[in-house]
Structure 1
Amino acid sequence: MSNRAQVRNSPIDISRRRFIAGTGSLLGAAALTGHATAARAAAVPAAAPIASGAHVPVLVIGTGYGGAVAALRLAQAGVDVHMVEMGMAWDTPGSDGKIFCNTREPDYRSYWLRTRTKAPLNYFLGFPIDRDIPRHTGILDAEEFGGITVYQGRGVGGGSLVNGGMAVTPRRENFGAVLPSVNADEMYGVYYPRANAELGVGTVDPAWFDSTACYQYARVGRKHAQRSGFPFVFVPDVYDWDYMEQEAAGTVPKSALAGEILYGNNHGKKSLQQTYLARARATGRVAVSPLHRVTSVSPAGGRYAVAIEQLDTGGGVTATKTVTADRVFFAAGSVGTSKLLVKLKATGALPGLNDEVGRGWGDNGNVMCGRANHMWDATGKLQSSIPCCGIDNWAAGGAFAEVAPLPTGIETYASFYLSITNNPNRARFSWNAATGRVDLDWQASWKQPSITMAKTIFDKINAKEGTIYRTDLFGVYKIWGDHLTYHPLGGAVLNRATDNYGRLTAYPGLYVIDGALIPGNTTVNPFVTVTALAERNIERIIAADL
């Protein structure tokens, strides 16, 4: 059945234009992989910002997974820590009483310093669905490089604010290709369990999954996968599954069942604000300065001088500061850390950084697609925005595909997927002196291996089911969402740009402790691996360096 025929025959009488007007910037990419009450989102409240001239024992640049782990463990070891975060604190409700806006109705809170949304899935039924918005320091950054758009969380909590919460530990047999210099016995015996416990990871109740309306789309995905002979697996998540069951019962405010994910989640999801960062702040030794952007780090008499810009919510610089720190942890995410280190090396602030800085960056093999199902395979009007299952063809075809939601509020007769593939291509960040910016040399054609690997799953399913690919989700007659990544990794690779624990060895007291350490691919959603590696590294750093 063609896409157009499906629309004509749909029992829902809705015009394409009215649908687009009603949904605005469609969630589509709910697979970003991403608070039991809205009040819980304030678990890491704003504090007095760091003052110019201040000295701190440890400065952590960024508040995502690696930075949050470092802050908590250092504070527990008796070390005072100050964290600086480029994004907002996300602890104050807007005029609608909610901290985060809904994905179907993006407003000023949705995007980082853009005047128009840039949804990962930006077409529907052949029409573009992005909309104009006020420029604001919103929660999702769609950072554009030549050949790829990188989606990143902006705010206290980093990527945990905007991902789908899929908390996946790689299969042990794949780990050697992920982090070849790391002891797998230690990771699987100590650090992965520690990370999963601290993050609050859990799995959907299979019996509830089988009965609830909000996972009808995933059950269709399971049926199609199994009929084509593919292993179907439940995937752990950091969403509060008890809360989601209450959402379905109508006894609590809806969040996952209201399509909240891409621009934050007001209830149910256990972001870093509720886990590592809340525990870190509870020690009394950790302070956080939101809307502060680090521009330079350089040696200063046995310490490090750190230049910082304070921002307003329009992105303007309201103050410039210089503080000193005995130790600095780079935790600004794969892109943020890599760009900063490349700039510091090229401009002479940290010229001793080695030539591996900026190298080994990858997209975790991300590629998206949709399939047009038959009318008898309805996927449901109500879809939970939290994915909970996937199709595993890694060993045979180099692809793992999340069965992802399309929570539009209407029946779409579509199955949607985010695939993680074994794409071998790696890019390099480099300093462009003419523009004063860091460039990335990723090429759009480098996504082709990901498409080929994803096709090992979906070509077979389409052949078995007699279905076709959707061609209206990423442009006009475009099948593959091959223009983006949600999972940036690498740029300061462990045991290459750093030593085997993240030390920048030319500069004692400087460390990398985030996804920049991981060389481009984790075979699954990466944040549990980022967290576990940070747990491993900070334990050694505290024992050996402090």
Structure 2
Amino acid sequence: MDPRTAAAPRQPLSRRRLLGLAALGAAALSGATTISAAPKAKAHALAGADGSHTPAVVVGTGYGAAVAALRLAEAGVETLMLEMGQQWDTPGADGNVFPSMLKPDERSTWLKSRTEAPLGSFLWLDVVNKNITPYTGVLDRVNLGQMSVYVGRGVGGGSLVNGGMAVTPRRSYFEEVLPQVDAEEMYARHFPRANAALKVNHIDAGWFEETEWYRFARVSRAQAAKAGLGTTFVPNVYDFDHMRREAAGEAPKSALATEVIYGNNHGKRSLDRTYLAAALGTGKVTIRTLHQVKAITRQRDGAYVLTVEETDTRGRTVARKQLSCTHLFLGAGSLGTTELLLRARETGALPELSPEIGAGWGPNGNIMTARANHVWNPTGAHQSSIPALGIDDWDNPAAPVFAEIAPLPAGLETWVSLYLAITKNPERGTFVYDTATDRMGLRWTRDQNAPAVAAAKSLFDRINKANGTIYRYDLFGSGARNFADDFCYHPLGGCVLGKATDLYGRVRGYDHLYVTDGSLIPGSIGVNPFVTITALAERNVERVIAQDIAR
């Protein structure tokens, strides 16, 4: 039995979602790279054979892409989604779809010969990462000079590998970052709609206080309080009811079995269980996996032509084809969408694209750090991999920080408190495209992360001083480093709303071409961004369908 189906959340399923989940299951059983709930003849017509035309193509299957596909389908538009990763629904030899963090194998990492975990060492020993066979695994670390970016690969994109923290941003900061967007409409309508569709839920406060699995978070909360800092519970898309049953031995373990960055086998309400299942269930959406869009051009009749490479699970190209569409929605994430548009502009394929494409990128102020606790203050050998609490110092006028209290589920006592700090760093990077190498680069230096490091240091210096503790220097690879400032989880920007696009994600210079992902947000949103990406996509796609398609 597929462990991801066996552990489905306890909630009523709509007929549409059931149909979509059935389509995903059927594709998994057959090993097909085409996923559709449509009748066979219709599905074949939408499957993206070389030279075929589809009314709408959505590139990617992450948050913004999933919103676009569902709403287009509900409007009656036949839609093809192209995903460079694979569908994650087939158990491996160990009976699981995904490996745990403590036992990563080839399923963990995208086409690398060695895993690249965020924590690269322990006591400066290289015991975290493992040699593996290159495979189209679920997590990729894209190295861009002095900054690396973690992204999810597969049907569901980043929803497969994130910690599921579903945070709606502070309204005042949302208005600061996106002043051209009607905040009243977002907070009254689109954020609630996004949270409902994503199946966001909250941890039971009583259970949190008593369970051994969140001792690490309670320890950090008490230490923050000594420094005069407050904490807040954070909603999540992981099913907390399932987690409680995990702890009671009534459900298979996932969050309580060191699973998260390489996927969750149970309990996680990733997009393939929510938006994408509903989209497939309309019968109007087909997903092609292991299909990477390499280039975009436009015909004289206005149709967009995509050059697509189909690969196998070892990354070998098995086919190269061209597909066309009338409406093209780019939801390949900050990196993928920006690269496609930069390539199109710089090669002359779409020469009228805005010079703003590539600008306004930022890592959402991400900084990781860790503290060493006293031996009499253990954090627990048993830790849930799903964060549930954050230190909220965003109102600090000098150095705003929202710090996730992150787990370190090593299966043994480490006395480590780990954090992902989200800071208000004003620095921005710029993506550039090299036509000679056909590669995108990022103009960003480590010095640009100095404001973020300073903000995080200000907060954690206070906590250390109040508790008589120190930083850990052994977790982030070689050397003595107490702050990891060379990678991020929250890439934002590159096709900023109102600059590279109009106020609804329409790409300037070309009609029927849209951006619907995190590249619209200019570098920072102050919290985990996926709820904002989802809500913004809901807002934008609604207007696009009403004005550009349904007329």
TM-score by length of 1: 0.92
* SS of match in other structure, 1:416: strand
Which amino acid is 1:297 matched to? I
CA distance 1:43–1:454, shift in 2 (3 Å): farther
Q: Which residue of 1 aligns with 2:69?
A: 71
Which amino acid is 1:408 matched to? A
Percent of residue pairs identical: 54
CA deviation string 1:416-461 (max 9, x = no partner): 0000000111111111123221111111121111111012211001
Q: Which residue of 2 aligns with 1:126?
A: 124
CA deviation string 1:55-113 (max 9, x = no partner): 10000000000000000001011111000000001121111111111111110101111
Tell me, yes or no, if the aligned pair for 2:356 and 2:500 is still in contact at 8 Å.
yes
Q: Which residue of 2 aligns with 1:282?
A: 281
Q: Which residue of 1 aligns with 2:17?
A: none
Tell me, yes or no, if the aligned pair for 2:150 and 2:488 is still in contact at 8 Å.
yes
Map 1:91-490; keep pairs closer than 5 Å: 91-129=89-127, 130-300=129-299, 301-396=301-396, 397-475=399-477, 476-490=479-493
Q: Distance in 1 between matches of 2:390 and 2:201?
A: 15
Tell me, yes or no, if the aligned pair for 2:7 and 2:252 is still in contact at 8 Å.
no
Tell me, yes or no, if the aligned pair for 2:54 and 2:326 is still in contact at 8 Å.
yes
Q: Distance in 2 between matches of 1:322 and 1:471?
A: 50
* Number of aligned residues: 512
Which amino acid is 1:386 matched to? I
Which amino acid is 1:539 matched to? E
Q: Which residue of 1 aligns with 2:14?
A: none
Q: Distance in 2 between matches of 1:370 and 1:349?
A: 47
Q: Distance in 2 between matches of 1:157 and 1:111?
A: 16
Q: Which one is further off, 177-186 or 79-88?
A: 177-186
CA deviation string 1:237-279 (max 9, x = no partner): 0010110000000111100000100100000010001000000
Q: Which residue of 2 aligns with 1:18?
A: none
Q: Distance in 1 between matches of 2:426 and 2:223?
A: 28
CA deviation string 1:14-73 (max 9, x = no partner): xxxxxxxxxxxxxxxxxxxxx573679877354535210111000000000000000000
Q: Which one is further off, 100-109 or 523-532?
A: 100-109
CA deviation string 1:276-328 (max 9, x = no partner): 00000110100000000001111112211111000111111100011110110
Tell me, yes or no, if the aligned pair for 1:42 and 1:90 is still in contact at 8 Å.
no
Q: Distance in 2 between matches of 1:254 and 1:107?
A: 19
Which amino acid is 1:497 matched to? A
Q: Distance in 2 between matches of 1:165 and 1:529?
A: 13
Tell me, yes or no, if the aligned pair for 2:105 and 2:130 is still in contact at 8 Å.
no
* SS of match in other structure, 2:411: coil
Q: Distance in 1 between matches of 2:49 and 2:96?
A: 30
Tell me, yes or no, if the aligned pair for 1:42 and 1:273 is still in contact at 8 Å.
no
Q: CA deviation at 1:394?
A: 1.3
CA distance 1:117–1:182, shift in 2 (3 Å): same
Q: CA deviation at 1:178?
A: 2.2
Runs of 4+ that moved beyond 4 A:
38-43
Tell me, yes or no, if the aligned pair for 1:150 and 1:484 is still in contact at 8 Å.
yes
Tell me, yes or no, if the aligned pair for 1:36 and 1:268 is still in contact at 8 Å.
no
Q: Which one is further off, 35-44 or 229-238?
A: 35-44
- 2:37 matched to 1:37? no
CA deviation string 1:109-165 (max 9, x = no partner): 011110011111101011123221000000001000010110000000000000000
Map 1:46-85; keep pairs closer than 5 Å: 46=27, 48=34, 49-85=47-83
Q: Distance in 2 between matches of 1:508 and 1:126?
A: 53
Q: Distance in 1 between matches of 2:86 and 2:186?
A: 33
Q: Distance in 1 between matches of 2:463 and 2:446?
A: 26
Q: Distance in 2 between matches of 1:94 and 1:84?
A: 24
Unaligned runs of 5+ in 1: 1-34
Q: CA deviation at 1:508?
A: 0.8
Paired residue for 1:87, among 82, 85, 88? 85
Please give the root-mean-square deviation of Cα atoms over the aligned residues, in Å: 1.3
Paired residue for 1:529, among 520, 532, 538? 532
Unaligned runs of 5+ in 2: 10-20, 28-32, 35-46
Which amino acid is 1:389 matched to? L
Q: Distance in 1 between matches of 2:130 and 2:231?
A: 37
Q: Distance in 1 between matches of 2:320 and 2:517?
A: 26
Q: CA deviation at 1:177?
A: 2.0
* SS of match in other structure, 1:124: coil
Which amino acid is 1:153 matched to? G
Q: Distance in 2 between matches of 1:43 and 1:318?
A: 24
* SS of match in other structure, 2:484: coil
* SS of match in other structure, 1:352: coil
Q: Distance in 1 between matches of 2:88 and 2:349?
A: 32
Q: Which one is further off, 415-424 or 87-96?
A: 87-96
Q: Distance in 1 between matches of 2:101 and 2:496?
A: 34
Q: Which residue of 2 aligns with 1:508?
A: 511
